[in-house]
Amino acid sequence: MILKGLKDKFKYKSGLKYLKQELAKQREAPLRKEGISAIGVIVDLENFAEPEKFYELIDAYGLRPNAVKIIGYRKFYDKNSPYATPVFSDKDLGWNGAVENSYALEFLSRDYDLLINYYRESNLLMQLMSVKTSARIRVGFSEQDPAFNDLIFGSGVSDFPSFKKELKKYLKVLNQIA
């Protein structure tokens, strides 16, 4: 038990070190055309229990049905329990910032035009997922370090209609949607 605790502590420290190194680097956006055709969402399921609301963005932006990919974070989850949204947790943290979860790896393997970091609390694993995701535009909340997001909102996580409205407004200003 003591060795597992030490191992987890060292994994956490190596993850923090990796995160600091990645934030210090100049982030390169993937070579994708202008406009929004693929959206990735990292959502904190502890504070927002309705991740299926993000599928409303398909109709709002006129996207194809599989354009939105959602992955959720839970502090603890049972691998045998069925979740509607793919889930990752703190126990999926590996050495040097690696994420050891098949759902997370599949999420990270794609390129996105828009990444929505839908969480307020600073959490190493969600931040690692955000840094490792290849996206042209990143959106999040004001409580996070500005290095994670290009567009920052002050609305609450529980106020999804306001977030959706503001996001659409700013994407129009940036000429990303019609």
Distance CA 155, CA 147 (A): 19
The 10s digit of each residue's pLDDT in 77-106 is: 776 666 778 888 888 888 888 899 889 999
- pTM score of the predicted model: 0.89
Residue 2, helix vs strand vs coil: helix
The better pLDDT of the pair 75, 82 is held by: 75
User: Phi-psi category of 68—alpha, beta or left, where left has phi over 0 and alpha has psi -120 to 50?
Assistant: beta
Question: How would residue 10 be classed by pLDDT, with cut points 50, 70 and 90?
Answer: confident
pLDDT confidence of residue 108: 93
Model pLDDT for residues 129-142, shown as the tens digit of each residue = 999 999 999 999 88
Query: How confident is the model over 112-163, as pLDDT tens digits?
Result: 999 999 998 888 999 999 999 999 999 998 888 788 888 898 877 888 999 9
Angstrom CA distances, 74 to 31, 115, 129, 155, stand at: 32, 19, 13, 22
Contact 29, 135 (CB under 8 A): yes
Q: Cβ–Cβ contacts within 10 Å for residue 71, how many?
A: 23
Angle at 172 (CA atoms; ends 167, 173), nearest 5 degrees:
100
Residue 160 tokens, joined: 């999804």
Q: Quick count: other Cβ atoms within 10 Å of Cβ 114?
A: 26
Mean predicted confidence (pLDDT) in 155-174: 88
> What is the residue-averaged pLDDT of the chain?
86
